[in-house]
Every structure is written in C-alpha cells, then in structure tokens.
Amino acid sequence: HTGEYHDLIGSTNDRAKELAANKVPEGFLVSANGQTAGRGRFGRSWNSPPGQGLYFSLVLYPSLPPVELPRLTLLAGLALAQALENLGVNVQIKWPNDLLINGQKVAGILTEIAAEAERTIYAVVGIGINIEPLDEEVKSSFAYPATALKEHLPGVSRQSLLAMFLERFEKLYEEFKKGEFAQSLTEYKKRLAFLGEEVMIITGDREYIGVLHDLGEDGSLIINDGNTVKRFAAGEISLRR
C-alpha cells in the first residue's frame, strides 16, 4: 500500500480528496494520529484527539454511477466488522455505517465522492475507530452511547487492525468491481443491528417509524410500518424504546 501518515492533520478525508483530485493511485491511504477538524456524517464533527483513535481514509476510483456508491460504505463496514471479529470481538453494524459493540458505537464511516453527471471521479472512504477508553466528554459527544475497542480488547494493536481491515476491504472491493455485491450484502445482513425491531429513521427533515424488515439488493433499508413497506437509500436510524 502507498500512503502517507500524519501526526496531526485537519481531516484525513479532506487530505485524501485533495490527493484524489491529483490522481494518486487507487488504494492510497491517508492516516493520522490526531485530527483537528475530523468530520462525521450530517455535518457533525468527529472528535479526534491525538492517540485516542485510528483515523484513516482510502482513495478509490470506482467506475460506478454515483447512486451506487453508498454500497462502498456498506463494504467498508463489513470489512471492518470482519477485521474486528478476527481480533476476537463481536460487532453489529448499524445501517449504513456505524459499528457497534454491545449496542455502543465503536467506529463510524464517512464516504465522500466527487461526481460529474453520471460519472464518479473519485470516492474517499474515511474511517474513525475509538481505540483508547473514552473520557466522559468524548462519550457525550456521540449521538448515542459510545465505546472504545480497548474496553473490549485491552491488548489490541492498531497496526494489525488496520492491516486486517485493508486486507478484508481489498478482497471485498475486488469482488465488488466484478459485480459481486450480493454475497457481501448477505454477510452484512448477518451483522445488521435492530433487524426485526422497531426503529425510527430520520432522512432530510422527515422521520418514519417502523419495523426494520430487510435490506434491498442495492443495500437500501426496508422498513414496514404495518401498512406500507418503505425503502430508504440514506438516513439515520435509531432504536425505538
């Protein structure tokens, strides 16, 4: 793998986008020990104190229409889930992009793309993993309960986690480029959080409530509210208690 490491950077996603615009090779990795302007989904910030977590971004050039790119987030989530399982921890995936341990968030994924009409110019897949046990301030900055990997695997090595993730992701991405997404989706669904449970999904400025029924073959979320079955390409879900 080619890549660059930063002790401290604004955001590895921003740096990866800059490099992608300059056509660095596919698979280029930008990693950092800390970020001063780490970003999450929905314009949230991603708290990234030096040494606290694993922060990295991958540059990709998938020749796919932009509408199919949310699938990359699912692939990255699955690859990370498999990497974590390999290290001995059980995880669930909160659609589309959060990794959970015992219902608490351990990692998030932010996929960003540049597109022109129907053509994708590049995609950047950014991943943040909570590694060191979190202090209360950071914990409360998450939208729902968070955890850190070392609370479950005290001796975990960042290096091996990253290497394992890259190995898994590369394999899944190669299959994906050949049009083999169904197998990955099946694997993803095995780890899907809240399946069969009542959830709320927020998308844009609307909310829906229903039972998380399934995922579509395109990776969309299928919710059944008792009367109708609705599909969502994007959104944020939470469990209704």
Question: Rule CB under 6 A: which residues touch ligand BTN?
Answer: 11-13, 35, 38-41, 44, 46, 55-57, 98, 108-110, 126-128
C-beta of 20 vs 211, nearer to ligand BTN: 20
C-beta of 17 vs 168, nearer to ligand BTN: 17
Closest contact distance (angstroms) between CB of 139 and ligand BTN is 14
SS3 content of the chain, % helix, strand, coil (to 5): 30, 35, 35
Closest contact distance (angstroms) between CB of 43 and ligand BTN is 9
CA-to-CA distance for 173 and 148, rounded, in angstroms? 27
Find the length of the chain. 241
The amino acid at residue 182 is A
C-beta of 41 vs 168, nearer to ligand BTN: 41
Shortest-Cβ-distance residue relative to ligand BTN: 108
Closest contact distance (angstroms) between CB of 162 and ligand BTN is 12
Query: Taken in order 131, 200, 236, 95, is the CA torsion positive or negative?
Result: positive
Closest contact distance (angstroms) between CB of 13 and ligand BTN is 4
Tokens 């990693």: give the residue. Answer: 31
C-beta of 12 vs 33, nearer to ligand BTN: 12
The amino acid at residue 109 is I
Tokens standing for residue 11: 């955001």
* DSSP H/E element including 56: strand 53-60
